[in-house]
Amino acid sequence: MKSPVSIFCLVAALLCTVTLAASGASGQPSDGLRKRFLDFKAKAEKGDAQAQFNVGLSYASGQGVENDDAEAAKWYRKAAERNHASAQYSLGLYYAKGQGVETNHTEAVKWYRKAADQNYAKAQSNLAFCYAYGQGVEKNEAEAVRWFRKAAEQNDVSAQLALGYGYHKAKGVKQDYKEAVKWYRKAAEQNNATAQNNLGFLYFNGEGIEKDYTEAVKWLRKAAEQDIATAQFTLGAFYFTGQSVPRDYAEAYAWLNLAARTDGNAAKLRDDLEKKMSPQQVAAAQKRTQELRAQTAAKLKSGAK
């Protein structure tokens, strides 16, 4: 069974930004936050790069001052021009998203590169994505891999996943299943659901590692519990057929039912299975679906960052 892995699942890594936080129950900045902002502002106006970055963060998050993306971009730029890596990365994000500035992928690449050259892992990862997609720079898979590797070696989970995918599917490097396993595992151990799914399939197929159905089920279950439909469908099929796990129609039905929300094949297999079940078994399976749905929601909530 092959996994329909796609690097497009990684695009979300480019869309991350500073989390907006409430500044007080009344919607107005608290005295403490306001004082801190004013302290940052005073230092920033004297040319302190860290303070300039902090002012940008304050405007971006609405902490101590009203949210204003244009002002955030202005202060990020001031700090970035003083070679502040976090500010360079943040300004790159703003250009990539058109937040506080006009969308300009060439400018995004410019600022990502400045931060990446300072060994800033998130910027290295985002620069790699730009090369992978040809966004703001000429597409170059080998260059994408080079920057993904730099970020992955600093434990950036998105880069580890992307590098694993590159070795898995021969994108920018020669296909090497052992290297794919290595980098997928690093991301999977950081609880990346897509890496867990992909690692599970490599164990199932015996690609880059000795075939091990127990390990395959282990990693596919972790991915399924984070709402990866491919993993849910596969687990359901396993329980239906007794492949790698004891046959269990209720468990099969429940996992297929979860996957069926987005996977027509899962819905078809679930419906075929239902014909083999008594009304009591179906009722029990539907109850199990609700349990799994609640568990999945709880895991996603606890893993949210």
> How is the chain split into domains, by residue range?
228-305
Do 72 and 100 contact (CB within 8 A), yes or no?
yes
List own/partner pairs for 170-178 with CB under 8 A and 24 or more apart: 171/7, 171/132, 171/141, 171/144, 171/145, 172/132, 172/141, 172/142, 172/143, 172/144, 172/145, 173/142, 173/145, 176/208, 177/202, 177/207, 177/208, 177/209, 178/208, 178/209
Instruction: Provide the b/e sequence for 288-302 (b: ≥16 CB within 10 Å).
Output: bbeebeeebeebeee
Cα R_g (the chain), whole angstroms: 23
Do 91 and 83 contact (CB within 8 A), yes or no?
no
pTM for this structure? Answer: 0.84
Alpha carbons 109 and 96: distance in angstroms, whole number:
8
- Please give the single-letter amino acid code of residue 132: A
From first to last of its 305 residues, what are the pLDDT tens digits of the chain? 444 444 333 333 333 333 333 333 345 567 899 999 999 999 999 999 999 999 999 999 999 999 999 999 999 999 999 999 999 999 999 999 999 999 999 999 999 999 999 999 999 999 999 999 999 999 999 999 999 999 999 999 999 999 999 999 999 999 999 999 999 999 999 999 999 999 999 999 999 999 999 999 999 999 999 999 999 999 999 999 999 999 999 999 999 999 999 999 999 999 999 999 999 999 999 999 999 999 999 988 887 54
